Structure 1
Amino acid sequence: MKLVWTPETASKAYIDTVKSCELFQESGEAELLSAMAGGWNAKMIVEVYMHGGATTATSVGLAIAAAHTGGRHMCMVSDERSRLDYVKAMHAAGVSPAEVVVGGAEAAVVGLTDIDFLVVDGRPKDFSRVVRFAKLSHRGTVLVRRNASLRTMAGFRWGGVLGSTSRVVRSVVMPVGKGLDIAYVAYNCAPTYSQKGTSRWIRHIDQQSGEEHVIRG
C-alpha cells in the first residue's frame, strides 16, 4: 500500500481549519498543512518542537486533520513548561490537544512507528536527528520543515538526513509562513509514487496576502 490522495478530506480539513484559525493573525501555514495531512489521509501525524512550545495555529490545523482522518496526533516538546503552554493554548483555541511527549531528539520519536506526516521546526540544531531516528511509514511519508527560509538552514537537503530505507521522491520549498520545505518520501522497498496518472495538484491561497500557491502532490 501507499499514500493515496483524497481531495474530499483535504477540502474538509482546510475549511474547518480556516474557521478555527480566524483568531490567529498568521499566514496560511496552518490551513495548508491541515489540507495536506487530511488529503493524504495521514494516520500518524507527528509535530516536533524541541525548543519551546508549538505554534498554536499549526497545531490546531493538524489536530483538525487528524479528526477527519481518524488518525493519531502527537506533539513532541522539549520540557514540561512547553507541554503546559501547548495544552493551555490548544484548550483556549477550543481544540483538544494532541498526545504530548516531553524529551530530547531521540526520545521524541522512540516507540512511534508508521509516521506518515511529520512536521519539524527548522531552527533547532537537532531536528535532523529527529528525522533520522523517526520510523517512517512503509506507505510513504510527507515531511515538512518549518522556518525553511532561515539563512542558517541554507543548503539543506532531505537526502542528507534520511536513513538508507527511505528516498525522496519529490520536494518543494513554499513561501508560506517563514518558509515550508515539503518532501514526499517513499520506502525504498515500495513502488515509486511517480507513476503516470497518480499526481494531484494542491492549490492553496494565503489568507493574508491573497497569493496563490500550487504544488504537485
Structure 2
Amino acid sequence: MKLVWSPETASKAYIDTIKSCEAPLESGVAELVAAMAAGWNARLVVETWSRGGIIATSVGLAVASRHTGGRHVCVVPDEASRSEYLDAIKAASAAPPEVIIGEPELVMEELEGIDFMVVDCRRSDHSKVLSTAKLSSRGAVLVCKNAASSGAGATPSRWRSVVEGGSRRLVRSAFLPVGKGLDIAHVASTGGGKGRRRWIKHWDQRSGEEIVIRR
C-alpha cells in the first residue's frame, strides 16, 4: 500500500486553512502544507517548532489532520517552548496537537510510521532530524520550510543523502518559492512493490507491430 493523492480532500483543507488564518502569516505556506498533508491522507503528521516560530503552519496541519482523522504531533525543545506554542495555538482557535518535549533527533526514535513531516531549515539539525525519522511503509512527504535561508533549493542528490537508506527511495523533489522557500521531497513506499517490473505495450504506427517492453 502507498500514499494516494485525493484532490478533493486537499481542496477542502486548503480552503478551511484560509478561513482559519484570517491574517496571512506565512504567504501561503500554511495553506499549501495543509493541502498536501490532507491530499496525501497523512495518518501521522509531525512538525518541529521552537520559541519565536510562526504558528500558521501548525494551524494548517491541524486542519489537515481533522480532515484525515490522523495524528498530529509537534516536537518542541523545552517546557517554555511548549507553553508558548500552546498559547499561540489557542489564540489561533486551532485544535492543539500532541506536544512532545525533547530534542527532535531523539524524539524521532519514539515515532514510527511518519508519512508527513515539516521541519525548519533555520535549525542546524534539520537534516539529521529528517534522516533519523521512521517513515511510513506507505511512503512519506517531507517538507523543509524557510529553505531560502539556507541558499538555493536542495538538489535531488542532497535529498537522497538525507532520505535514502536500506529500502528507501526518493521519488521526486522540488523547491517552491512560497513564503521563505519550501523544499519538498516525496519518498517511495517500501515492501511489496520493490524490485517489481511491469510490461508496457506499444504499437508502432508505421509497421503496425506490437512492441512489448519490460521496465
Q: Same fold (TM over 0.5)?
A: yes
Calculate the aligned-residue CA RMSD, in Å: 2.1
Larger Rg: 2
Identity %: 55
Counterpart Cα distance in 1 of 2:177 and 2:153: 15
Which residue number corresponds to residue 29 of structure 1?
29
Per-residue CA distance 1:117-138 (angstroms, 9 max, x = gap): 0111111111111111111001
- My pick for the range that moved more, 100-109 or 74-83, is 100-109
> Number of matched residues?
193
| Residue aligned with 1:150, SS | helix
Given the two structures, how large is their TM-score scaled by the length of structure 2?
0.83
Is the contact made by 2:43 and 2:68 (CA closer than 8 Å) also made in structure 1?
yes
Question: Structure 1: which amino acid aligns with 2:17?
Answer: T
Which residue number corresponds to residue 161 of structure 1?
162
Per-residue deviation, 1:85: 0.7
Which residue number corresponds to residue 9 of structure 1?
9
Change (3 A) 1:118 1:26: closer
Which residue number corresponds to residue 91 of structure 1?
90
Counterpart Cα distance in 2 of 1:116 and 1:57: 20
- Aligned ranges for residues 201-216 of structure 1 at < 5 Å? none
Is the contact made by 1:120 and 1:145 (CA closer than 8 Å) also made in structure 2?
yes
Counterpart Cα distance in 2 of 1:178 and 1:190: 38
Is the contact made by 2:41 and 2:68 (CA closer than 8 Å) also made in structure 1?
yes
Is the contact made by 2:73 and 2:99 (CA closer than 8 Å) also made in structure 1?
yes
Which residue number corresponds to residue 102 of structure 1?
101
Per-residue CA distance 1:33-58 (angstroms, 9 max, x = gap): 00010100101000013x43542111
Counterpart Cα distance in 2 of 1:80 and 1:29: 26
- Aligned ranges for residues 124-203 of structure 1 at < 5 Å? 124-151=123-150, 157-162=158-163, 163-189=165-191, 191=193
Counterpart Cα distance in 2 of 1:132 and 1:27: 28
What are structure 2's unaligned runs of at least 5 residues? 198-215
| Residue aligned with 2:187, SS | strand
Counterpart Cα distance in 2 of 1:88 and 1:14: 24
